Amino acid sequence: MKPDDSFKPDPSLLEGAKFHDNVTQVYIRTTEDKLLNFLNDFREANSKVFGWTVPLSLVGSLGATILTTTFTERYSRPASFWEALFIFFFLASLIWLAVAIIRAVLCRKSASVSALIKRIKNDP
């Protein structure tokens, strides 16, 4: 593709101007199945990096519920049953949050675009 030479700026506009050329290209040749594998791994790593958001919202909402609610008897179950149920789900969400944070920390480097390009280029 030829550059368009039809644009000719006024020479007075260019006085003292500095130009930096950044026109080098790097081409990467790979197969479709390898690229699909790289992109699937990248998507999975990205979902692990942001996987802490759901358990955090559950911990917050369940914690607020436990702190502010007066549990009552409902559906022929005593109040202590409902309180224990909420505490159980709060603790389960807290464990899920801890696991999700550990996964996010471990996967944060592999979820970057530069890491994806390095992997596609086969750089060490």
> Given CA atoms 51, 57, 60, 65 in this order, what sign does their dihedral have?
negative
CA 10 – CA 115 distance, rounded (Å): 43
pLDDT tens for the 124 residues of the chain, in order: 555 566 677 777 777 777 777 778 878 888 999 999 999 988 988 888 888 999 999 999 999 999 998 888 889 999 899 999 999 999 999 999 999 999 899 888 878 888 888 888 887 6
> Over the Cα atoms of the chain, what is R_g?
28
Q: Structure pTM? A: 0.65
Q: Report the b/e string of 53-78 with b at 16+ CB within 10 A.
A: eebeebbeebeeeeeeeebeeeeeee
